[in-house]
A and B are shown apart, each in its own frame.
Chain A
């Protein structure tokens, strides 16, 4: 009798275990999708518990704080039904009013039902965190959430993700990830006067939080001679043959892109470069030095010791300048930014990173001379910026940093 009871219990628990397998699979898938969506970065404060919220977003209208999205039923979203979760994530409609578009629902509306279900399963399985939500410091009239309904009407599309016809499965997987979960456009797409992404300028680059989120259009990336591997490297490791990520992109690599599977990174790179096959690698640009150019004196005086006389860089200390994509931008805002503000040392992983770059207090004339020299020597751009251009760019950079509260 005793044996029979044990046998029945064993069989019953086995079935319960089996029934859990699809749910566990769904949660695992959801966890991966949450990684791609980088829920962690915006919903986990620097000193805070996972998904407890409280990360400040400085906007021109005031400070917005991300909310607790843990499975806590009181403070988090543990009591959300699937429909309520979907409405919040994909349509910006929260249980207590419309969400501010700091939540990237204008990208997330493209997430498929299947993926939303997986995300829901994962979010309901997270550790409950009882951290209270912080009140936003948004001034009148932006504190009236009713206005956001109007914003949604004008700026939130109901369209579902549509794969491009005539393109490969890989390309369309990349298109889906970049434009929906990856929400790359939220930074890399310019915004209109209502602060919504310009639909006709997808991924054409944008000045945001003091930095330029560079253009990611296939035309621009191909002009800068990126390969699929280069793009995959910069997403996965934070640096590549074509340069490194900067500023706010660093935690995105650390928390999100570093965890993305190789095949998904390849799909994203394939979409961004509009190429299914690997592109032939080209040598990094170094056009030789023109020692008579006054920019050479500044290059050898301030830059060459760390970046190498031929711009080759030093592993884990400084990135190469030869062929660097940041230098290879027609409007050299990020180059000016790095020169006048410097860069803090950065760690992309336990083993990889770069050292600190000091800031340089150069005159406008010196800045003009150095930037023109860097672009002439290490890129194929045929541009000579006038002093007025440089002064205008510098003003834009300083204003951007000021607005971003840096």
Chain B
């Protein structure tokens, strides 16, 4: 058993004692009832289970939760799918984040199992582009490179990619003409 302490969606969790064999997804589901992160292949291949890790230097990255233990997130600041929408005082979601909004507008997903992974990956991309915009002609390849590793068994790729492109082009400061 080891001590785990971290920040999830801005809230401090722990310190608590946890076995080194508990994977992060298990911790989110069973200890915190955060079930929005989905368990896909369990072998680090489909990326359905990725969450966002925000580093102290300001950059963010996604990390798989099915193959990394909870203790590997010790002292980290992470965001899960539950943390994106704005909530009211009662805790109900009242406004989705732009990526969630874009995916819904384009009917990007069907069963939704892969969606939390796509939302997290796309959110990091959009945030990064706001800080470091790219040329217009690089947008499509950047979306492909970023989302390529995410598997959608309902084959919603085209709509995911389209909605990302529309969002990136619509957001101010994202592109340089």
Residues of A within 8 A of B (CB): 296-297, 300-302, 304-306, 309, 314, 317-318, 345, 355-358
Contacts and interface: CB of A to CB of B under 8 A. Distances in A.
Top-9 shortest CB links A-B: A301-B69, A305-B67, A301-B72, A300-B20, A355-B45, A317-B43, A297-B20, A306-B67, A301-B71
Contact of B44 (A296, A300, A306): A306
Interface in B1-44: 2, 20-21, 23, 42-44
Contacts, number: 44
Interface string B55-88: 0000000001011110110000000000000000
Chain B facing A: main interface SS = loop
Contacts of B20: 296-297, 300-301
B45 A305 contact: no
A75 to B, nearest CB: 33
Contact of B64 (A296, A297, A304, A358): A358
Contact of A305 (B2, B66, B71): B66
Given A300-B21, A305-B43, A306-B44, 13 more contacts: A297-B71, A300-B20, A301-B69, A302-B67, A302-B72, A305-B23, A305-B42, A305-B66, A317-B43, A318-B43, A355-B44, A356-B149, A357-B44
Interface of B: 2, 20-21, 23, 42-45, 64, 66-69, 71-72, 149
A340 to B, nearest CB: 15
Nearest to A305: B67
A317 B43 CA distance: 8
Contacts of A302: 67-69, 72
A355 B43 contact: yes
A109 to B, nearest CB: 44
Contacts of B23: 305
Contacts of B67: 302, 305-306, 358
A128 to B, nearest CB: 36
A339 B91 CA distance: 41
B138 to A, nearest CB: 21
Give the one of A296, A300, A345 with max B CB within 10 A: A300
A306 B43 contact: yes
A306 B43 CA distance: 6
Contacts of A296: 20
A170 B24 CA distance: 53
Contacts of B2: 297
Contacts of B69: 300-302, 305
20 contacts: A296-B20, A297-B20, A301-B69, A301-B71, A301-B72, A302-B67, A302-B69, A302-B72, A305-B23, A305-B43, A305-B68, A305-B69, A306-B43, A306-B44, A306-B67, A309-B21, A318-B43, A345-B45, A356-B45, A358-B64
